[in-house]
Chains A and B, each alone.
Chain A
Amino acid sequence: MSKLNSPMGGISRRGLLKGATALGAAGLILPASVRKAMAEPKRGGVLRIALASGNTTDSLDPATWDSTFVQSFNTARCNTLTEIAPDGSLVAELAESWEASADAATWTFKIREGVTFHSGKTMTTDDVVASLNYHRGEESKSAAKPYVDPITDIKAEGSNVVISLSGGNADFPFILADYHLVVLPSAEGKIDPTTTDGTGAYVLDSFEPGVSVKMSRNPNYFKTDRAWFDGIDALSIVDAAARQNALITGEVDVIDGVDLNTVSLLERAPGIKVLPVTGNQHFVFPMDTRLSPYDNNNVRQALKYGIDRDELVEKILRGFGSAGNDHPIGSGQRYFNTELEQKTYDPDKAKFHLKEAGMDTLTVQLSAADAAFAGAVDSAVLYAERAAAAGINIEVVREPSDGYWDNVWMKKPFCASYWGGRPTEDLMFSVAYSAGAPWNDSFWDHARFNELLVSARSELDDDKRREMYWEMQAICANEGGVVIPMFASYVNAHSDKVGVPEVIGTNQGLDGLRLYERWWFA
């Protein structure tokens, strides 16, 4: 990936800590420099976009943003302290710069001055403190609570906000780029989660949950080289055929979630461009490593060799993705282990591992529903088909999509699931692979892995850190409890009237959820 070679991609740990001010400044110049080969962005036009997500139960409350539809328009309405640039590096947003104490456990963020909310109120450090506090504490219902749990104290000091953590974390500023952690206006130390206010590029004009959202450009936006559209008109169109029709008939300019089965037809439509973006989103089959037979690593290895990754990429993703290697780090990430051997479909090795486990055949049940990811049931059936050659008999249990995350995921010992990916190695491993983490869906507890995770988190030396993350990926791939067959691209399509930056954010769909402020009409 070009990402690793780009000037902003390989920030060292030390550079991140010391040069944060310079980094922030560079971040503001960056968009122009990466777009050198493209037509210059220009202002004007109302972007009409149709998204596959969106639900009548969507709300403005940052604790509950659960779909791309709400996440993207709220990212246009509000800002976070830091921003993940299209190339995956971290740049300044509402925080101008930041620095850490020597142990990386106390972070001081200098808050940008002169930023106003749409209502005209000036943003203060109190707003920042109240906004972050909203996700913390006993009464928090926020989906981002596990991210902010390590925070022991937040206080405002002049134009700075000082955040104390329970332990060192070199990547902490990355966490503050999470789309939940937006800054909203506060009164008496509390934010109003139903407010329509924000500091972002677009002002919310109307929001009808599950139907549409209309926004117009914020004339006082503090970033001058962003927000090219005059307005945003985003629609929720859940039906894939209806969405593609809307694009073909010119009712909208951009769609997400292109139906991979008909993508070739869409490619042939005049004036339409299909835009796959390789992201960190990956599809997984976690096993409960506490239970027999998954507590035996040979069984887990057998199951990993019994899956035909290339076939799944070809048949389920129609080539819009790449084979996974049983660890959650994407090939574009900073510490991706380039030397780890790629696992392939190998029934003989699977048989060998079964024999090591003292078995001739193995019968397991795999629970799947398309709520886990589009094509999960088909993937499970293909998996069962191929694994049979290795003497592994997988019974696919088709579960209802309704309530999948409550009743199947982390309840059934072997099931389908997905991860949107996380911007840093530490975050991804901490969230889903560290012992005792609430979303550790394989209930994996590997002493060496957990030890490395903690020491890598506060390690200052970039090379040592890389070494640790490489070892962790190897451990995860060869001893972990999750089969990760594929990384799926985000597949969008747009009319050729829309200008697209050369480098597109991969940390989330829709250009890292910032399509509204980064794209333009050519």
Chain B
Amino acid sequence: MSIVWEMIFKRLGLGLLTLLVISVIIFSATELLPGDLAQAILGQSATPETVAAFRKELGLDLPAYQRYFNWLFGALQGDFGTSLANKRPIADLIATRLGNTLFLALYAAAIAVPLSLTLGILAALYRNSIFDRAANALALTSISFPEFFVAYILIFVLAQSGLFPSMTRMDPNTSLGEALYRAFLPALTLTLVVTAHMMRMTRAAIINLLASPYIEMARLKGINPMRVILKHALPNALAPIITVIALNLAYLITGVVVVEVVFVYPGLGQLMVDSVAKRDFPVVQAVALIFAAAYVLLNLTADVLSTLSNPRLIHRK
């Protein structure tokens, strides 16, 4: 096991370094964008004097490196600062939205992961059958449509008939059951979007192994095909499947802004887009770091699980 702990610590250290590098990149990228918050907020009503006064108030007249180190110093102490635009603490701005985003991601994952694993395994079992072809065709169709299109179709079919709400409004008093009901359509949209990837990877990974001699052996022993797949093939196919699941989970956390907009779901994506448009640098920075951390942690988890699933990696000689 020590090899796993060593890996976790090493990777977490590297992860922190990655986050630092990302914060520099994000900062430079927002600096490269034309204009700043003062101009973006005042928009058409900006005059040179009001923009200058606004900049001074926000400290945007300081040199770039100074602003970056001010931010970094605060962030290292756990203070992500306040939004430049509305002076609210970023922690408050992000807290509810992060909760919403994680809720939706987990909800979608809770449907999508078992669904795609089951479909993938069944497709491998009955490969080239009608079932396999139909499952593949459906999954590929839903991944090929843009997300907003899938969302509109679901709204047209399921919301306009009154079965489910077309908007997802949640507040702290919403009960879990109610929240699951209200967020069903966005979760279903995301499920349709991510299922194909995981399902096809599961199918491919298993089929890949079915030609190996040890599977041949198992078959010759007369074990039934389902057992061959679950007991013999799946454990060895886990590594690529786990990696793909982790990538899709990261996508569910970071890439769902379109779904958020269509279903009026207050998640992090919309916050990120608005803050980039208005050049609200501290908010962009904080959200970007959350997204980056999600990727780092999920990848780490995937690697740890893959290692654990492979005795050859644990008991290295």
Q: Residues on A close to B: CB < 8 A?
A: 55-61, 64, 66, 138-146, 194, 208-212, 235, 237-239, 241-242, 245-246, 248-249, 251, 402-403, 405-407, 409, 417, 438-439
Q: Is the CB of B271 within 8 A of A245?
A: no
Q: Is the CB of A57 within 8 A of B159?
A: no
When chains A and B are docked, how far (Å) is the Cα of A409 from the Cα of B83?
27
A-B pairs with beta carbons under 8 Å apart, 17 shown: A56-B85, A57-B275, A58-B85, A58-B86, A59-B86, A61-B87, A64-B42, A64-B85, A66-B41, A140-B49, A141-B51, A141-B53, A143-B45, A209-B86, A239-B262, A406-B40, A439-B45
Q: Is the CB of B280 within 8 A of A142?
A: no
Contacts A242-B261, A407-B34 given; indicate if A140 touches B50 (C-beta within 8 A): yes
Residue on A with the closest CB to B92?
A: A208
CB neighbours of A144 from chain B (8 A): 45
Interface residues of B in 71-102 (CB under 8 A from A): 83, 85-88, 93, 96
The answer to whether the Cβ of B293 comes within 8 Å of any Cβ in the partner chain is: no
CB neighbours of B283 from chain A (8 A): 56-57
When chains A and B are docked, how far (Å) is the Cα of A241 from the Cα of B54?
36
Q: Is the CB of B261 within 8 A of A239?
A: yes
When chains A and B are docked, how far (Å) is the Cα of A138 from the Cα of B42?
16
Q: Is the CB of B47 within 8 A of A237?
A: no
Q: Is the CB of B35 within 8 A of A57?
A: no
- 10 additional contacts (CB under 8 A) given A138-B53, A402-B277: A56-B93, A57-B83, A141-B38, A141-B50, A141-B57, A209-B93, A210-B270, A249-B162, A249-B165, A251-B166
Q: Is the CB of B166 within 8 A of A246?
A: yes
When chains A and B are docked, how far (Å) is the Cα of A144 from the Cα of B93?
28
CB neighbours of A403 from chain B (8 A): 33-35, 39-40
CB neighbours of B38 from chain A (8 A): 141
Q: Is the CB of B50 within 8 A of A55?
A: no
CB neighbours of A61 from chain B (8 A): 86-87
The answer to whether the Cβ of B297 comes within 8 Å of any Cβ in the partner chain is: no
Q: Is the CB of A57 within 8 A of B45?
A: no
When chains A and B are docked, how far (Å) is the Cα of A181 from the Cα of B309?
66
The answer to whether the Cβ of B286 comes within 8 Å of any Cβ in the partner chain is: no
Q: Which of A59, A211, A242, A406 contacts B262 (CB 8 A)?
A: A242
When chains A and B are docked, how far (Å) is the Cα of A56 from the Cα of B267?
11
Expressed in whole angstroms, the minimum distance between the Cβ of B307 and any Cβ of chain A is 40
- Residues of B in contact with A, size category: 35 or more
Contacts A57-B85, A60-B86 given; indicate if A143 touches B33 (C-beta within 8 A): no
The answer to whether the Cβ of B46 comes within 8 Å of any Cβ in the partner chain is: yes
The answer to whether the Cβ of B44 comes within 8 Å of any Cβ in the partner chain is: yes
Residue on A with the closest CB to B41?
A: A64
Contacts A142-B50, A241-B152, A242-B262 given; indicate if A59 touches B87 (C-beta within 8 A): yes
Expressed in whole angstroms, the minimum distance between the Cβ of A297 and any Cβ of chain B is 26
CB neighbours of A239 from chain B (8 A): 261-262, 264
Residue on A with the closest CB to B84?
A: A57
When chains A and B are docked, how far (Å) is the Cα of A408 from the Cα of B162?
45
When chains A and B are docked, how far (Å) is the Cα of A403 from the Cα of B166?
32
CB neighbours of A139 from chain B (8 A): 53, 56-57
Q: Which of B41, B46, B93, B167 contacts A251 (CB 8 A)?
A: B167
When chains A and B are docked, how far (Å) is the Cα of A380 from the Cα of B53?
35
Q: Is the CB of A406 within 8 A of B50?
A: no
CB neighbours of A245 from chain B (8 A): 155, 159-160, 166-167
The answer to whether the Cβ of B295 comes within 8 Å of any Cβ in the partner chain is: no
The answer to whether the Cβ of B43 comes within 8 Å of any Cβ in the partner chain is: yes
